[in-house]
Amino acid sequence: MRSVDTTRPASDRDGLRTRSVARAGVLSAVTLLLGWTHLGFIPVPTPAGAATILHIPAILAGVLEGPTAGFLVGMVFGLFSFLQASIPLFKDPIVAIVPRLVIGVTAGYAYRVFSKSSRGWVLGSGLLGACIVGLFAWQVALSTLWLGIVVGVLALALAAGTVLAVMREERERVAIGLAAVTGTLTNTVLVLTLGVLRGYLPDFGTAAFIGVTHGVPEIAVAVIVTLAVAVSWKRLERPDTGARL
């Protein structure tokens, strides 16, 4: 399917093309479907009960069609989460909708930055991110030792992954993966911060605990799904590149 003309008519404003609107609409439908069938909630043994993959369509829209499309899909996710919620935390529009608007936007910009930047940049920002996570791990370890160790291992994995990826010259995949990490972190961090600020969670310690137990599996799943879908779709879109055997 390469029949869509890429030279755009003058009536298009602010860069949102027909194809972007169509793709954002269909990705929103995927969000609704995953949420409605509960396929998008993966049961985990924590009090909250489930890790979500509903933010992945917003990340994909941000990566493939840019921040504006990511914003639109995030809005549908937020509205769905607000309308379907049955716990007080997500029946608050400020917690349910506002953070979700930003997921696709940050993921889209992260993809743009990382796919165009040089190796040094990717290496630098990856290591900087690992340092920030490491510092956070130290802070957590001061209060809860084992939780700190878990976060510390995560920081090491982030650093190792960045170095490995830069060495293997997989810029496109690294950019998609980092966009998925950015989008998921945006969701987790903003929801939990707003949850504490609005008084649904007792303090930042509880929020950090939920953040680690839910954020880590969500990041892993988001990276896997986003990479699988985005890479294979980009290859389908450009048949000339062919499959790598």
Of 132-171, which residues contact other proteins (CB under 8 A)?
none
Distances (CA, A) of 155 to 23, 101, 132, 133, 170: 34, 27, 8, 5, 21
Q: Which of 6, 7, 13, 146 binds other proteins (CB under 8 A)?
A: 13
Residue ranges in the chain assigned as alpha helix (H)? 18-36, 56-65, 67-84, 93-96, 98-116, 119-143, 145-167, 171-197, 204-237
Secondary structure letter of residue 40 according to DSSP: T
Q: Which of 161, 225, 242, 243 binds other proteins (CB under 8 A)?
A: 225
Binders in 188-217 for other proteins, by CB under 8 A: 199-200, 202-203, 206, 217
Question: Whole-angstrom Cα distance, residue 203 to residue 49?
Answer: 20
18 binds other proteins (CB under 8 A): yes
25 binds other proteins (CB under 8 A): yes
Task: Find the distance separating the first CA and the last CA of the chain, reported in whole Å.
Answer: 23
103 binds other proteins (CB under 8 A): no
* Only segment of 25-33, 113-121, 127-135, 186-194 that touches other proteins (CB under 8 A): 25-33
Q: Measured in whole angstroms, how far is the alpha carbon of residue 5 from the centre of its chain?
A: 30
Question: Whole-angstrom Cα distance, residue 227 to residue 111?
Answer: 12
| CB-CB neighbours of 237 under 10 Å | 11
Nearer Cβ to other proteins (20/182): 20
* Only segment of 24-32, 106-114, 141-149, 167-175 that touches other proteins (CB under 8 A): 24-32
236 binds other proteins (CB under 8 A): yes
16 binds other proteins (CB under 8 A): yes
Q: Which of 88, 139, 145, 167 binds other proteins (CB under 8 A)?
A: 88
Taking phi first (over 0 means left), then psi (-120 to 50 degrees means alpha), and beta for anything else, what does residue 70 get? Answer: alpha
List b or e across 180-202, with b for residues whose CB sees 16 or more CB atoms inside 10 angstroms. Answer: bbbbbbbbbebbbbbbbeeebbe
Q: Which of 37, 146, 239, 242 binds other proteins (CB under 8 A)?
A: 37
Nearer Cβ to other proteins (120/199): 199
Nearer Cβ to other proteins (45/242): 45
68 binds other proteins (CB under 8 A): yes
Q: Which of 6, 14, 239, 242 binds other proteins (CB under 8 A)?
A: 14
Minimum CB separation from other proteins for residue 132, in Å?
27
43 binds other proteins (CB under 8 A): yes
Tokens 């680690």 found at: 212
Tokens 């003058």 found at: 10
45 binds other proteins (CB under 8 A): yes
Q: Which of 145, 153, 228, 238 binds other proteins (CB under 8 A)?
A: 228
Taking phi first (over 0 means left), then psi (-120 to 50 degrees means alpha), and beta for anything else, what does residue 169 get? Answer: left
